[in-house]
Amino acid sequence: MPKPKMTFVERLYLPEISKGLALTSRHFFRNLWHHSLASLGLESRDRAMVTIAYPEVRRPYPLVARSRHRLTKREDGSPKCVACMMCATACPADCIFIEAEEHPDPAIEKRPRHFDIDMSKCVYCGFCVEACPEDAIRMDTGSFELAYFDRKGLVYDKEFLLNDDPHAVPAHAEPLSRGN
Amino acid sequence: MPKLSIDGREVEVPAGTNLIEAARLLDLEIPHFCYHPGLSVAGNCRMCLVEVEKAPKLQIACNTAVAEGMVVRTDSDKVKKARAGVMEFLLLNHPIDCPICDCAGECYLQDYYMEHDLKASRLEEGKNKKEKAQPIGPHVMLDKERCVLCSRCVRFTDEVSKTHELGIFGRGSTEEIALAPGKTLDNPYSGCVVDLCPVGALTDRDFRFKSRPWFLKETATICGGCAMGCSVVLDTNTNPYNKVGQDRAYRLFPRENREVNGWWMCDEGRYSHHSVDRGRSQGPRLRGKGVPADFALARLAAEAAPLVKAHPGRAAFLLSPRLTNESLFAFRRLAESLGVAQVEFGDDLKAEGRADGFLIQADRNPNSRGARELGLGPRPGVLGGRDLLKAAQGGAFDVVFVLEHALDPAALKALAAATKVLAGFHVQEPVEAGIYTVHLPLAHAFEQDGTFTNVQGRVQRNRKALEPLGDSLPAYAWAQRLGAALGVPQAPDGPEALFRAWTQGRPELAGAVFEPLAAAAPAAA
C-alpha cells in the first residue's frame, strides 16, 4: 500500500498537532466536569468516561454473549449429550469431535465417549447450541480468556467442558498467568 | 410393450412392470416403504398410492402392473393427501429418537416426512412403548418402536435367505417384528436386513454409533472375500481418535448389481473391511528387521540379481489369486524380462471354504479366474503351487518370490532352508516374517485400483477407497521397483496402463475401458 501523501497544511506540522491536542483536552475537561458533578452528587456517574481496571474489575457480559462452551449435565452429573453429532454437523469451523458409545441405561442408549472442542478453530457462531436437540451444549460460561503456552491447551475435552467455572483451566494446559 | 402416461409423460415399458419401476424410468420417485425390487410385493405400507384414471380409488403403485393407455397421476391433491395421511399413521407411535438412531440421515421416514408430511403430531395420548435396542442376532439390533412394519426383513428371511427367523406378531398397535420362537437372526446373509430396513428398526451392531452416515465417503468397489466379487460400497472417513491419521473403513454394504449379487451380500464379506486394519504388514523387513524400502530392495537385488541372472531357471514366482489382474500382469512381465519361466499363482494352495449355492463361493479368492485367464495357471513346463513348494524345499530353486500366500511355518522354514533368497509380499504381517530374506508390505485391495475377474468371468473394477497403510504398496508398484532394483527396468505403468496392456490381444475384452468398466464388462459366462 502506498503511503498517503500529506497536504501542505499537514506538512506544516503545528496545525495538526494543535487539532489533536484540542481533541484530547476537550475529553479531559468534559470528563473532569462530569466526574466533579458526579462526586458532588449532582449527576450520575454514567455520563463520565470510566476506565475499567481489567482484569481485576470486569463489566458484566450481556446474557446473550457467546463465550466458551460447556456441556450441561443430568441430575447424576453425567453429560446430557447423546452424541447425535448435530453440533459437529452444524459446525462451520469443523472444531467439534465426538465419539459415541453405548450408554448403560437402555432408555438413554447413546452417550459420548469423547467430546472435544478445538477452541483454536472455534468461531463462536453458536450454531452448535442452536443445533442441539437435547440442550446439552451452551455457550454461557462467560469465559473468553483462552490463552495458553501450548495449542493443546485449547483443545477442551468432555471432562473440562462439563464444568461451568469461567476461570477454569484444563488440567493438560499451562495457563499464561502462571509465574506472572 | 404397453404405453402409459405418468403425470402427463409418456413411457413405454415391458408388460408386467409395476408403476414404481415405470415411474423410475421417468426419474419419478413414488414414495414407498415395503416395496423392494428384490422381494415379493407385500403392498402393506400404502405409501405408494397413486391415482389411476377410471379406477374408483387410489391404487398402490407397487402392485399395479402397467396397462396399455393407462393414465397415472402421482402429484394430484388426492395423492398428496393420501401420502400425508399414511405418514401420519406411520409416525403415530414412532419415538422420533433420531438423535440416537443410526439410521438418521438415510431414513425413509425422515425423507418422506420432509417431502410429504411436515406436520406436528396430533396424538394426545402417550405413544406406545415397545422394546428398544434388542440384539436379535450376532450382527443385527432391533428397535421395535421405530419399526413401520413394512415386512421387508420378514420377506427377506422367507424368500432370499429362506431361514424364516423373523415374523410379525400381535395385532393393531401391539403388532411388532420379532424372532420366531427359539431362533436368532444368524443366517449367513443376516446383515442384508439392515440395508433393507427403510427406517432405524434394524441397525448394524458392528457399525452401531460409529459414525453418522453423512460424514462418510462412498466408494463403489468389489468385495474381495470370495470368487463371486459382489458389488459393494465402502464407506470411509477419518476418525480423530483412531490415531492412524488417515481415512479408515467404516462399513461395507452391497450395491445393486443384478448380474452378480442382486442387492445382497454375505455377512462374511460385509464385515471383511476390518481386515484393512487387522495385523497389517506396514514396513519392509530385512530378515525380520524393519528397514527402509529402498534399502530392503537394494539388499534383495544384491543377493538375488546375480543368482537370477546366472540361472533364470532356478528362480520362481509364486503369485496369488488375491492379486488384481494388473498386479499379476506386472509380475508376469517382470518374470519375462528376467527370463524366469516358473511363474504360478498357486491354484492348489488357495484358501477354500464352503460354497452355499447362492453367493458364497468355495474359492475365497477374488481373482482365481483372472489369474488362470492371464495364463498363470497350471501349464506344461511350469510346476503347480504344491509341486513348486516341494521342488523348492528339495533345493530346486535359489530365489523364490512368494506373494500373498499364508504358508504354514514348517513348510516356510523348509523353503527358507533350501533357497538362498526368499522374498515375501503380504498384506498381513506373517508371524514368521523373519524367515524371509526380505519381506515387503502389500496394499489391501481397498487401497488400490485394479480389476478382478469373478467366477462368472466378469472383469470387475476394484476402486481405491483408502491410502495404503504405512509403507505398503500395491503389488504392481513393487514389481516395478523390484524390476528397477534387479536391473530390468519396467514401464512405470499405473493400473490403467497395465489394464490396457493385459487386455490387449484378448478379443473378448476388446474395447474394455478401465474407467468406468461396468459398461464394457463381458456377459456372464
Contact list, A97 vs chain B (CB under 8 Å): 240-241
pLDDT mean over B322-342 = 95
Q: Is there a contact between B261 and B270 (Cβ–Cβ < 8 Å)? A: no
Residue listed under C-alpha cell 423392494: B36
Residue B253 has pLDDT above 60, yes or no: yes
Residue A144 has pLDDT above 90, yes or no: no
Q: Inform me whether the pLDDT recorded for B522 exceeds 50.
A: no
Q: For B141-184, what is each residue's pLDDT tens digit?
A: 999 999 999 999 999 999 999 999 999 999 988 999 999 999 99
Answer whether residue A123 is part of any domain: yes
Residue of A nearest to B101 (CA): A84
Same domain, A100 and A22: no
Question: Residue B54 — φ and ψ, nearest 5°?
Answer: 75, 0
Domain-embedded: residue A61: no
CA angle in degrees (0–180, nearest 5) for A104-A110-A111: 90
Chain B residue with the nearest C-alpha to that of A109: B100
pLDDT at residue B512 greater than cutoff 90: no
pLDDT tens figures, A6-57: 999 999 999 999 999 999 999 999 999 999 999 999 988 888 888 888 888 8
For residue range B305-329, list pLDDT tens digits in order. Answer: 999 999 999 999 999 999 999 999 9
The neighbour count for residue B281, using CB atoms within 10 Å, is 22
Please state, in angstroms and rounded to a whole number, the distance separating the CA atoms of residues A71 and A114.
Answer: 12
DSSP letters for B338-397: HT--EEE--GGGS-B----SSS--SB--TTHHHHHHTT-SSBTTB--HHHHHHHHHTT--
Q: Quick one: which of B38, B18, B39, B42 has its CA closest to B30?
A: B18
Domain-embedded: residue A60 = no
**pLDDT at position B131 over 60:** yes
Smallest Cβ–Cβ distance between A134 and the set B99, B214, B240 belongs to B99
DSSP 3-state of A102: strand
B122 confidence band (pLDDT: 50, 70, 90): very high
Instruction: Summarize the confidence of residues A66-82 as an average pLDDT.
Output: 94
Do A87 and A40 lie in one domain? The reply is no
Give the whole-angstrom CA distance, residue B169 versus residue B491. Answer: 65
Between chains, do B240 and A133 touch, taking CB under 8 Å as contact? no
Query: By CA distance, what is B104's nearest residue in A?
Result: A84
Q: What is the ipTM of this complex?
A: 0.85
* Radius of gyration (C-alpha) of chain A in whole angstroms: 25
Residue A84 to residue B241, Cβ atoms within 8 A: no
- Name the residue in chain B with its Cα closest to that of A86: B99
Q: How far is B428 from chain A (nearest CA, A)?
A: 28
Contact across the interface for A99 and B241, Cβ inside 8 Å: yes
Q: A76 with A155, same domain?
A: yes
**Do A141 and A75 belong to one domain?**
yes
Rounded Cα distance between A160 and A172, Å, is: 10
The four Cα atoms A168, A169, A172, A178 give a dihedral, to 10 degrees, of -140
Report yes or no: B208 at the A interface, CB cutoff 8 Å.
yes
Please indicate, yes or no, whether residues A92 and A158 belong to a single structural domain of this protein.
yes
SS3 for B88-110, per residue?
HHHHCCCCCCHHHCCCCCCCHHH
How close does chain B come to A118, measured CA to CA in Å?
12
**Touching check for B209 and chain A: CB below 8 Å?**
yes
Do both A96 and A28 map to the same domain? no
Is the per-residue pLDDT at B524 higher than 60? no
Q: Do A84 and B209 touch (CB under 8 A)?
A: no
The least confident of A114-123, B39-48, B329-338, B382-391 is B382-391
CB contact under 8 A, B99 and A100: no
Query: Could you tell me the pLDDT band of residue B516, with boundaries at 50, 70 and 90?
Result: low
Is residue A33, in this structure, part of any structural domain at all? yes
Quote the pLDDT of residue A175: 62
CA distance B80 to chain A (A): 29
Question: Is A106 within the bounds of a domain?
Answer: yes
How far is CA A85 from each of CA A105, A108, B203, B213, rounded to the nearest angstrom? 20, 15, 18, 11
- A135 interface with B at CB cutoff 8 Å: no
| Confidence at residue B301, expressed as pLDDT on a 0 to 100 scale | 95
Task: For residue A114, give how far its alpha carbon lies from the nearest alpha carbon of chain B (Å).
Answer: 8
Q: If 0-12 CB within 10 Å is exposed, 13-18 middle and 19+ buried, where does residue A178 land?
A: exposed
Q: In which band, very low, low, confident or very high, does the pLDDT at B127 lie, cut at 50, 70 and 90?
A: very high
Mutate to test the interface with B, among A99, A108, A117 (most CBs of B within 10 A): A99
| pTM metric for this prediction | 0.88
Average the pLDDT over A92-101 and give the result: 95
Let me know whether A111 and A144 are in one domain: yes
Instruction: Using alpha carbons, select from B442, B454, B462 the residue that is nearest to residue B234.
Output: B462
pLDDT of residue B307: 95
The predicted-structure confidence for B221-235, as pLDDT tens digits, reads as follows 999 999 999 999 999
- pLDDT at residue A178 in the model: 46
Task: Give a yes or no: residue A169 inside a domain.
Answer: no
**Is A105 near chain B, with CB under 8 Å?**
no
Over pLDDT 70: what percentage of chain B?
A: 98
Beta-carbon contacts of B180 under 8 Å, excluding residues fewer than 6 positions away, are B164, B165, B166, B167
Q: Does B245 touch chain A (CB under 8 A)?
A: no
Residue A1 falls inside a structural domain: no
Look at residue A27 and give its three-state secondary structure: helix
Same domain for A38 and A101, yes or no, is no
* Cell 501542505, residue located: A8
Rounded CA gap, B469 and B441, in Å? 9
Determine the pLDDT at residue B96.
93
Higher pLDDT, A59 or A99: A99
Q: Angle, nearest 10°, between helix axes B385-393 and B409-418? A: 50
Query: Could you tell me the pLDDT band of residue A177, with boundaries at 50, 70 and 90?
Result: low
- Chain A residue nearest residue B205, CA to CA: A102
Is the pLDDT reported for residue B517 higher than 60? no
- The pLDDT of residue A165: 83
- Judging contacts by C-beta atoms under 8 Å, the chain A residues touching residue B98 are 84, 133
Q: How many domains does chain A have?
A: 2
With a cut of 90, say whether residue A1 has pLDDT above it: no
Please name the amino acid found at residue A73.
Answer: K
Residue A173, pLDDT above cutoff 70 = yes
Q: Quick one: A125 and A155 in the same domain?
A: yes
Q: Are A27 and A75 within one domain? A: no
Does residue B447 come out as left (phi exceeding 0), alpha (psi in the -120 to 50 range) or beta?
alpha
CB B462 within 8 A of CB B224: yes
Give A176's pLDDT tier (boundaries 50, 70, 90). low
Mean pLDDT of chain B: 93
Residues from chain A contacting residue B240 (CB–CB below 8 Å): 97, 116
Nearest of B235, B272, B274 to residue B251 by alpha carbon: B235
Angle (CA) B366-B367-B370 rounded to 5° is 155
Is A85 in contact with B100 (Cβ distance < 8 A)? no
Distance between CA B462 and CA B232 in Å, rounded? 10
CB contact (8 A) between residue B99 and residue A101: no
Question: Which of B212, B243, B250 should one mutate to test binding to chain A, selecting the residue with the greatest count of A CBs within 10 A?
Answer: B212
Q: How far apart are CA A49 and CA A145, in angstroms?
A: 25
Check CB contact of B239 with chain A, cutoff 8 Å: yes
User: Measured between CB atoms, does A129 come within 8 Å of chain B?
Assistant: no
- Domain enclosing residue A120, as ranges: 70-162
- Mark yes or no for CB contact B214/A89 under 8 Å: yes
Mean pLDDT of chain A: 90
Q: Per-residue pLDDT averaged across B28-49, rounded?
A: 96
pLDDT given for residue A57 in this prediction: 86
Specify burial of residue B359 (Cβ count, 10 A radius: 0-12, 13-18, 19+): buried
Summarize pLDDT for B232-249 with one digit per residue, the tens: 999 999 888 877 889 999
pLDDT over 50 (residue B29): yes
Identify which of B442, B447, B480 has the alpha carbon closest to the alpha carbon of residue B463.
B447
Give me the pLDDT at residue B481, please.
Answer: 95
Q: Tell me, letter by letter, the H, E, C secondary structure of B46-92.
A: CCCEEEECCCCCCEEHHHCECCCCCEEECCCHHHHHHHHHHHHHHHC
Residue A88 shares a structural domain with residue A158: yes
Q: Is B132 touching A (CB cutoff 8 A)?
A: yes
The stretch B52-58 carries a mean pLDDT of 94
**With 60 as the cut, is the pLDDT of residue A114 above it?**
yes
Query: What span, in angstroms and rounded, lies between the C-alpha atoms of B370 and B153?
Result: 36
- Read off the CATH number of the domain in which A110 is found: 3.30.70.3270
Residue A79 located in a structural domain: yes
| pLDDT in the model for residue B482 | 94
B99 shares contact with chain A (CB less than 8 Å):
yes
Please report residues of B whose CB lies closer than 8 A to that of A114. Answer: 241
pLDDT at B203 over 80: yes
Q: Is A99 on the interface with B (CB under 8 A)?
A: yes
- Could you give the 3-state DSSP secondary structure of residue A145? coil
What amino acid is encoded at B429 in this protein? E
What is the pLDDT at residue B519? 42
Angle at B418 between CA B417 and CA B421, to 5 degrees: 80
Which residues in chain A have their CB less than 8 angstroms from residue B99's CB? 82, 84, 86, 110, 133-134
Under an 8 A CB cutoff, do A106 and B133 touch? Answer: yes
Same domain for A96 and A21, yes or no, is no
Cβ within 8 Å of residue B6, ≥6 positions away: B19, B22, B23, B26, B28, B72, B73, B74
> Can you tell me the mean pLDDT for B468-482?
95
